[in-house]
Structure 1
Amino acid sequence: MNPTTQLFKGEVFFQNNLHLWVNRSSEDFTVPFHAHDFIEYCYVAEGKGFHHIERETFPVSKGLLFAIPVGFSHVFRPTSPDSLGNPLIVYNCLFDAHMVNQLAVVLQDPPILEHLTELQNSKSSYFSVFDRDGSIESLMQKLYREMSVPSIGSTTMLHTLLSQLVVTVYRQKYTEANKPDIQVANDFDQVIQYLEQHLHEAVTMSDLARISKWSIRHLQRMFQQHTGQSFGSFLQNLRIQKSCEFLRGSEHKISSIAELVGYRNIDSFNAVFKKIVGKAPTEYRKLYRS
């Protein structure tokens, strides 16, 4: 480890006997370049910036998750010191060797356990995956909520959610590495980007067929293959995820947020939001503000 690198120790974070800690932070220039004696999953939830790992620098934006093994030095930095309008928001999920041993009871797949052991023993390098379908962000949000507002069964729930996160990240890492048709995946990414940029509009499958040059039937298959959801279900979840970002990071009225993500009827927006998130938009905003 470089002598200018600080060592973050798990004993500072794991004060709840869980050997797990999850937070949501706005990155700045005060956190030092650091290594740690625990595994860390870092998920970029909002904004853009840079991730410095060892001797490399990676531009980062929403949807990237980095797995940092024990002993590897890293730090996030926003694009500029004046990033109040578009802060770099990162979820950090930390867990140590004790938690790896506890997860071994749940994780029955030897390759996944070996993968975790290699991260813990610094025998695996850092890596990143892209959250194509929002499943990683959803798990990070649930982990953060459960950690922030514990309730009956929270310990069990946290173990379950962390197990799901480990498996999801592992699947992303190895299915992406073995994916035969990268160009098709990249083309489909363009479709997703179009949706993200036009959430406020009434986007239809016909619109996507026109811009992608694929048939509607082929697009339906692509959504199932790449996201595990139908087009309608994926679009609905994408709109609610974006509305969560607005609720956390803006002062917009809820009616304005509903319009920004494509809902013209506030009652419909409230109903769908509560069904997916489990709380009404006003409750959700209060939870994160508190």
Structure 2
Amino acid sequence: MIRSVQTFKSEHFFDDGFPLYVNRATETFHIPLHDHDFIEFAYVAEGGGFHHIDGEVREAAKGQLIFIPIGTSHVFRPASTNPDKQALIVYNCLFSPRLLEKLAGIASDPALLADLRLMQDGRLSSYTLRDADDAIGKLFLQLHREYSLPRQGTNDFLCALLLQLLVVALRARSDAPSPASRKFDRFDQLLAYMESHMAEPLTLSRLARVSLWSERHLQRLFLRHADQPFHLYLQSMRIRRSCELLRHTPLKIAAIAEEVGYKDIASFLSAFKNHAGQTPSAYRKAAGADRT
């Protein structure tokens, strides 16, 4: 099924002839899949969810900067229909390619000028960056405040902030590791994601959506880098964590089972005994941490 794409036009966003617009929005399910005739930087300020872009579904996580060129279809979706659970809040900085001409007249760095030309000509593809030190988040906060409360020199100040954002984004992309090392980093990030979401259902399908790798490729990565299939790695990770909880906390065994992602206590007991060679109670007692 091919979904229709709505086009958002510049005239609905740019007022008084100044081709830049900034807002802070709580994403819902009401905004349609869309493209636009302007350039956009989006910054995930709070919460999490999903970003549908160019036919793919990617995780939207706090601290991400996403560059969205003209004509690229996309839409953000929160993780839940209930905004009280986890709202997805995104800053949007929209600007016309003609604003880049003004910025090019200020810039002098060859790499930045080349980047501006690629962006202006529509030859720069969408990309996502991680805001490691909150520098990008602070820039968006300044952009939003200045746009929302205009004062003398606001337009020039907004141009200066946008130019600063473009420089920061260029530096982050230039400092990115090689494709080979980036793949290892991404796999490490995926393992960290599994650790932090251990209590939730973790399937290859879910990890494929998060990592943007296919399920088959993920299976190969687990065999290559973890020396075991995905399901055995997941079980080992959960049992390893349950051993830590048995040694260092007074939590009941049923609570520990749920904490590490087992909804069925019988499945947990069976998996633990197969992995540790004894029951959770016996393990706790042998570790000297029997608190019952």
User: How would you bin the TM-score normalised by the shorter chain?
Assistant: 0.5 to 0.7
Task: Tell me the CA shift for residue 29 of structure 1.
Answer: 0.5
Report if the CA contact (8 A) 1:41-1:93 is conserved. Answer: yes
- Counterparts of 1:97-176 in structure 2, within 5 Å, are 97-176=97-176
Structure 1, unaligned runs of 5 or more: 194-290
- Counterparts of 1:218-237 in structure 2, within 5 Å, are none
**Residue-pair matches, total:** 191
Residue matched to 2:240? none
- Counterparts of 1:187-202 in structure 2, within 5 Å, are none
Task: Tell me the CA shift for residue 178 of structure 1.
Answer: 4.8
Task: Tell me the CA shift for residue 3 of structure 1.
Answer: 7.5
Report if the CA contact (8 A) 1:21-1:147 is conserved. Answer: yes
Structure 2: distance between partners of 1:6 and 1:16: 24
Residue matched to 1:217? none
Structure 2, unaligned runs of 5 or more: 194-292
Task: Tell me the CA shift for residue 111 of structure 1.
Answer: 2.3
TM-score calculated relative to the size of structure 2:
0.60
Runs ≥4 residues deviating over 3 A: 177-186
Residue matched to 1:87? 87
> Quick check: 80-89 or 173-182, which moved more?
173-182
Report if the CA contact (8 A) 2:136-2:165 is conserved. Answer: yes
Structure 2: distance between partners of 1:80 and 1:120: 36
Structure 2: distance between partners of 1:177 and 1:117: 24
Instruction: Give per-residue Cα distances to partners, 1:19-58, cap 9 Å, x unaligned.
Output: 1000000000111100111110000000010000011110
SS at match of 2:106: coil
Q: CA RMSD in A?
A: 2.8
Task: Tell me the CA shift for residue 83 of structure 1.
Answer: 2.2
Report if the CA contact (8 A) 2:80-2:86 is conserved. Answer: no
Structure 1 letter corresponding to 2:69 = P
Rg bigger for which structure? 2
Task: Tell me the CA shift for residue 109 of structure 1.
Answer: 1.9
1:17 counterpart = 2:17: yes
TM-score calculated relative to the size of structure 1:
0.60
Structure 1: distance between partners of 2:11 and 2:183: 45
- Counterparts of 1:30-41 in structure 2, within 5 Å, are 30-41=30-41
Instruction: Give per-residue Cα distances to partners, 1:228-255, cap 9 Å, x unaligned.
Output: xxxxxxxxxxxxxxxxxxxxxxxxxxxx
Structure 1: distance between partners of 2:183 and 2:114: 31
For residues 183 and 96 of structure 1, do their structure 2 counterparts lie closer, same or farther at Cα, with a shift above 3 Å needed?
closer
